[in-house]
A and B are shown apart, each in its own frame.
Chain A
């Protein structure tokens, strides 16, 4: 049982870590909170479900199509919907509140479209659901492949952020937007890029999860909340922290579900979240705000 919990925890945690990385990039660079984030994940899951059903193409190959589209749509949402409120915001706090309200609406708009097309039924499909034996536990192949893909993309994303010029620019904007403007960085350009990257990562997470999880049109908010918990727990803008905390969240879920009760997972996660907030309000890896 231990090994089974460990394996399912790692596979789930890998995707959580990836999805949280996307949200922390969006949030820290653009300083706007995107409550519609999880809808991108679910929309991607449904698009892959439809195309896999229609053409029988591997979901992992379909990701090559879905991910760039998600990038474009997210970028466009920043330019069209968020930039106007960024322009008129009088303070960072006002911007955060305005963006919460706006993306709260976005959440329902996307969810509404998904409900209209797919209804509220639980949806799943079978791809690579072949049992693989690891020592004395079995795990589905699709979970392993998805885990592998999440780890690879997470590592590449982290490397790009830390080692490339554009990555450095995004980090600079997240640390100090005023400083960034003063070296000639167009902060709106950077925020649009961060939105696109975040949306693309969420969509990839959706594709990966759809191969082994049952999903509904109303489930986006669950992923937004989990990603948000990870982002805040790790410390906003701390990418490595989000990857570690996301992995930890997956493991906690799996072990609680295996040893206590599957119904308790959410309760335990929120308890851990509360505890982390009480002990380290700036996030486990975060620094005290200046």
Chain B
């Protein structure tokens, strides 16, 4: 169970995120929908410890507070982020990228096991282990990025616009993989700009607008809601 409450982020004078609160239960897939610049990325970065939050914010994973920890300790606590732009180790091989995912002592002994899990979700990667990550296509790099995050044995996986820049076919392939990650008890929170696809695999969703969470509902409710249709699903 992850509970996020009162998270605000300020970039200089600009309040990018204001008192955001949400919660995700174990094994749930939750999507945060918002347009460009709505504060989705900021929300997810704040949870992962990559941007500083204003006082009063709290992020609690299974009873453990994360909001005071540096980013590398948050990973150790079980929350992994697949960031926008992927941030792969581009000059290293796919194998090295995945191995680095198991850097932490708590994950090191399970590295082989975890890698098998990654291959179950993304069988393609098994043949590409020796390839330099930066030379792969965008979709394949996204698989490596998700695989690397899976190697950290997360209880909670955050994905920042995984479909960004991918061809529609690749996007659906990627989204199909997410439920199989969630079935093992890992919760998934993803932010997306506009997507039938993200709602079709999600259990619940939140709407975010100008840095404020404006609505929430089950995926079914959101898919049927007129307001959502207009704002995010292209009519």
A-chain residues with CB within 8 Å of residue B134 when the two chains form the complex: 287, 290
A262 within 8 A of B: no
Whether the Cβ atoms of A181 and B71 lie closer than 8 Å is yes
The one of B50, B76, B90 that contacts A176, using a Cβ cutoff of 8 Å:
B90
B118-141 vs A, Cβ < 8 Å mask (1 yes, 0 no): 000000000000000010000000
Pick from B80, B81, B92, B103: contact of A171, CB below 8 A: B92
Contact segment of A32-40, A183-191, A221-229: A183-191
Main secondary structure of the interface of A (DSSP, over half): helix
Nearest residue, chain A, Cβ from B151: A183
Closest Cβ of chain B to A237, distance in Å, is: 8
For the complex, give the distance between the alpha carbons of A290 and B80 in Å.
24
Contact B76 A183 (CB under 8 A): no
Contact residues, B27-69 vs A (CB, 8 A) = 48, 50
Q: Are A178 and B50 in contact (CB under 8 A)?
A: yes
Interface flags, A167-180, vs B, CB<8A=1, else 0: 01101100110111
Contact assessment for A179 and B89 in the assembled complex, using a CB-CB cutoff below 8 Å: yes
Residue A182 lies at the interface, judged by CB distance under 8 Å to chain B: yes
- For A169, the chain B residues whose CB sits under 8 A away are 100, 103
How many positions in chain A have a CB within 8 Å of any CB in the partner chain? Answer: 18
Nearest to A182 among chain B residues (CB) is: B81
Please tell me the number of chain B residues within 8 Å of chain A, measured between CB atoms. 30
Asked if B72 is an interface residue, CB under 8 A from chain A, the answer is yes
Q: Which A-chain residue is minimally distant from B77 (CB atoms)?
A: A184
Q: CB distance B87 to A168 under 8 Å?
A: no
Nearest to B80 among chain A residues (CB) is A182
Complex interface bits, B5-26 against A, C-beta within 8 A gives 1, otherwise 0 = 0000000000000000000000
How long is the Cα–Cα vector from A181 to B103 in the complex, in angstroms? 11
Which residues from B are CB-within-8-Å of A171? 89, 91-92
Enumerate chain A residues within 8 angstroms of B190, measured Cβ to Cβ.
Answer: none
B96 within 8 A of A: yes
In the bound assembly, the distance between CA atoms of A181 and B100 in angstroms comes to 11
Could you tell me the distance in whole angstroms from the C-beta of B145 to the nearest C-beta in chain A? 9
Known: A168-B99, A172-B100, A178-B87. A183 touches B75 (CB 8 A): yes
CA distance A185 to B102 in the complex (A): 10
Chain A 81-140 interface residues, beta-carbon cutoff 8 Å to B: none
Which among B72, B80, B83 has the greatest number of chain A C-beta atoms within 10 A? Answer: B72
A176 to B87, CA, bound (A): 6
Contacting pair B90 A290 (CB below 8 A):
yes
| CB pairs A–B below 8 angstroms (10 shown) | A172-B92, A175-B89, A181-B50, A182-B75, A183-B100, A183-B103, A183-B148, A183-B151, A184-B104, A185-B103
Top-9 shortest CB links A-B: A179-B87, A184-B75, A181-B71, A184-B104, A175-B89, A172-B89, A178-B87, A184-B72, A183-B103
Residues of B within 8 A of A (CB): 48, 50, 70-73, 75-76, 80-81, 83, 86-92, 96, 99-101, 103-104, 107, 134, 148-149, 151-152
Q: A-side interface residues toward B, CB under 8 Å?
A: 168-169, 171-172, 175-176, 178-187, 287, 290
